[in-house]
Amino acid sequence: MRNLSCVCLLLASMAFGQTSQPPAAPPAGEKAEPGATAPSGPAAPTEAPKAEVAASDPVITLKGFCSDGKQNDACKTVITRAEFDKLVDALQPNMPPAVRRNLANKYTTMLRMATEAEKRGLDKDAKFAETMRFARLQILSLALSHALQEDAGKISDADLNEYYQQNQPAYEKATIAKIFVPHTKQISKQISAKSPATTATKAGMKPAVTATTAPTEAQRKADEAAMQKLSVDLHARLVKGEDPDKLQKEAYVAAGLPGNPPPTASEKVRRNTLPASHKSIMDLKAGEVSDVLPDASGYYIYKIVTKSVLPLEDVKAEIRSTLSSKRYRDSMSSYQNNVEMNDAYFGATQSQIPAPRRGPTPPPEQAEDPD
């Protein structure tokens, strides 16, 4: 029964595993994609056969096998191109040659095993009927999913234009300058002058280790306040028109960060490429500077250098994908909602499990001293 279930799942996955154009087989000499199933049997061709194969020509011959179950050396089962193409078209039209050969190997094995299973009466088992019922549900639901995806992909030019006009802010692009100021300084205290490392340095020898000490709590708070004040100062200077790259370098020096900072300029920035808390900068006009935006890593300051809207032609494919995905999700939602399950049978869902207590565990209560 387990084998039968696996076979049903295999056929379903091969039939509907790809909703877009199926990938072509890798060119000769190139490696297959990671995770690709290697075909069993002889090496699979990387392109369709050159010779023309007629619909009545045999493409698979099972020697020593007859479908009536009476096996002997004289038996053979022949599958023509028309018969095998019918299976291929049902599972995955335009199936690449390598996948066709893989399917052929699996199909011949299944034919032999299914015939033997019927001889043993396994198809009369109650579990077989239930498994077939479930497999039918699965394949039908996958067929409907495929059909819904095709329906959702039927996007007209009018649909594209309407969505574009209603969502133009999503298609704005900008050239920006971004300044980053860390929350704290990178503090590194050298070991004392009397230490062996310092003595070695004075003697012209390179010390093996440079020791560092962690800042005190008071020092950490003072550094954080200094970096916050610096972010406000850099913001004011950026508003006045000072060079962003110069300001960024000052921030790096003040924070004790090694090396040169990266350039502050970024081109073709869009709202969907920014962190959620920074998306509001796209509401600014060219030449305007954002507020200081704090987050867990530090302070960010943005300046909009230029700003424009991408033309519809440049974003048609993106809009088509967005609309298609939304329509498919909307159509699927009617099949996925309004379900109640018995938690006593299925157990609590992850969202129903209480979150672990945060923070330090309070110490157990001390028993009162009888004295």
pLDDT of 368 > 80? The answer is: no
Picking from 96, 270, 240, the residue whose alpha carbon sits closest to that of residue 176 is 270
Picking from 23, 17, 36, 24, the residue whose alpha carbon sits closest to that of residue 149 is 17
Q: Out of 56-70, 122-136, 309-323, which region has the weakest mean confidence (pLDDT)?
A: 56-70
Structure tokens at 122: 């396994």
Residue 330 CA, distance from chain mean position: 21
Task: Assign a CATH topology to domain 168-313.
Answer: Chitinase A; domain 3 (3.10.50)
Token pair 């692009």 is found at 173
Backbone angles phi, psi at 20, to 5 degrees: -105, -170
With contact defined as beta carbons under 8 Å apart, do 67 and 123 qualify? no
pLDDT digits (tens, 9 = 90+) for 240-277: 999 999 999 999 999 999 989 999 999 999 999 999 99
Torsion sign, CA atoms 229, 233, 234, 236: positive
Per-residue b or e along 79-97, where b marks 16 or more CB atoms closer than 10 Å to that residue's CB: bbbeebbebbeebbeebbb
CA distance 299 to 305: 19
The domains of the chain are located at 2-17+37-152, 168-313
CA distance 184 to 217: 12
With contact defined as beta carbons under 8 Å apart, do 301 and 294 qualify? no
Q: Whole-prediction pTM value?
A: 0.62
With contact defined as beta carbons under 8 Å apart, do 182 and 298 qualify? yes
Q: Out of 62-71, 198-207, 281-290, 351-360, which region has the weakest mean confidence (pLDDT)?
A: 198-207
Q: Out of 18-22, 109-113, 198-202, 316-320, which region has the weakest mean confidence (pLDDT)?
A: 18-22
Q: Which long-range contacts (CB under 8 A, 24 or more apart) does 105-111 make?
A: 105/39, 105/40, 105/41, 106/10, 107/60, 108/60, 108/62, 110/7, 111/62, 111/65, 111/67, 111/77
27: confidence class by pLDDT, cuts 50, 70, 90:
very low
Pinpoint the alpha helices (H) of 203-286: 217-239, 244-255
* Residue ranges of E strands in 247-337: 265-269, 293-294, 298-309
With contact defined as beta carbons under 8 Å apart, do 106 and 88 qualify? no
Q: What is the three-state SS of 133-165?
A: HHHHHHHHHHHHHHHHHHHHCCCCHHHHHHHHH
Q: Out of 24-28, 70-74, 126-130, 152-156, which region has the weakest mean confidence (pLDDT)?
A: 24-28
The confidence score (pLDDT) of residue 51 equals 66
pLDDT digits (tens, 9 = 90+) for 157-181: 999 999 999 999 999 999 999 999 9
212: confidence class by pLDDT, cuts 50, 70, 90:
low
The confidence score (pLDDT) of residue 260 equals 92
Token pair 């199936």 is found at 95
CA distance 317 to 164: 12
pLDDT digits (tens, 9 = 90+) for 285-344: 999 999 999 999 899 999 999 999 999 999 999 999 999 999 999 999 989 988 899 999
Dihedral class, residue 43 (left if φ above 0, else alpha if ψ from -120 to 50, else beta): beta
| SS3 (DSSP) at 257 | coil
With contact defined as beta carbons under 8 Å apart, do 91 and 18 qualify? no
| SS3 (DSSP) at 301 | strand
* CA angle, residues 333, 338, 341, in degrees to nearest 5: 125
pLDDT digits (tens, 9 = 90+) for 73-93: 788 999 999 999 999 999 999
Backbone angles phi, psi at 110, to 5 degrees: -65, -35
191: confidence class by pLDDT, cuts 50, 70, 90:
very low
